[in-house]
Structure 1
Amino acid sequence: MKSVYIGNIVYSASEEDMRKLFGQFGEVISVKLINDRETGRPKGFGFVEMDDTGALKAIEALNNTDYMGRNLRVNEARPRKQM
């Protein structure tokens, strides 16, 4: 299982939109779009967890492609830093 970072997401996109988009390439395990803690508004990025093969296909196919008027940034997510 790989975690994929998605950046430059249009603010109106939903987790279901991302599930459909990435589901074309493999099994989507989870989708998490990040919202601002104070305002609750979308921050324009998120993460998709999916099977390894599907993740690699999605990164290759979707990075720097137009989605709802914005060019997505799609790459393998870096591990979270320990606090």
Structure 2
Amino acid sequence: MNIFVAGLSYQINDADLKELFEEYGEITSAKIITDRETRRSKGYGFVEMADEDGQRAIEELNGAEYDGRTLSVSEARPRTEGDYPRGNRGGGNRGGYGNRERRY
């Protein structure tokens, strides 16, 4: 089961996240999501563990306080095409000229 964890303190690292969930069962992976440019935590992450253990962890940790913040814990939903970050993938339909020469 892939678990989404939001509301994390920005000082939490992968090891801290893993330690938080170890009480509920064996952890396959624990990953804090970071900003590509600054490498700072975005305040959320993902934990993978067995379904039965994961369900118990979700029930007990959702709404719990950890490191001074209230956690939001749920089963992660698979990404859909619309979920991917936009980033610098072009201007979309903003009326720009792109690489064409401007004509006056």
TM-score range, shorter chain: over 0.9
The number of equivalent residue pairs is 82
SS of aligned partner of 2:11: coil
CA distance in 1, matches of 2:31, 2:67: 18
Q: 1:5 offset after TM fit, Å?
A: 0.1
Q: 1:46 offset after TM fit, Å?
A: 0.5
Scaled by the length of structure 1, the TM-score of the pair is 0.94
CA distance in 1, matches of 2:24, 2:62: 13
Where relative contact order (Cα < 8 A, 6+ residues apart) is larger, the structure is 1
CA distance in 1, matches of 2:80, 2:30: 20
Q: 1:37 offset after TM fit, Å?
A: 0.9
CA distance in 1, matches of 2:37, 2:67: 26
Q: 1:14 offset after TM fit, Å?
A: 1.3
Q: What residue in structure 2 maps to residue 72 of structure 1? A: 71
Q: 1:32 offset after TM fit, Å?
A: 1.1
Task: Give the structure with the larger strand fraction.
Answer: 1
Q: 1:80 offset after TM fit, Å?
A: 1.5
Scaled by the length of structure 2, the TM-score of the pair is 0.75
Q: What residue in structure 1 maps to residue 99 of structure 2? A: none
Contact 2:17-2:31 within 8 A present in 1 as well: no
Unaligned segments of structure 2, at least 5 residues = 85-104
Q: Percent identity?
A: 45
- State the 4+ residue runs in structure 1 displaced beyond 4 angstroms: none
Q: Aligned partner of 1:31: which letter?
A: A
Q: What residue in structure 1 maps to residue 56 of structure 2? A: 57
Q: What residue in structure 1 maps to residue 32 of structure 2? A: 33
Unaligned segments of structure 1, at least 5 residues = none
- When the two chains are superposed, the root-mean-square deviation of aligned CA atoms in Å is 1.0
Q: 1:40 offset after TM fit, Å?
A: 1.0
CA distance in 1, matches of 2:55, 2:73: 10
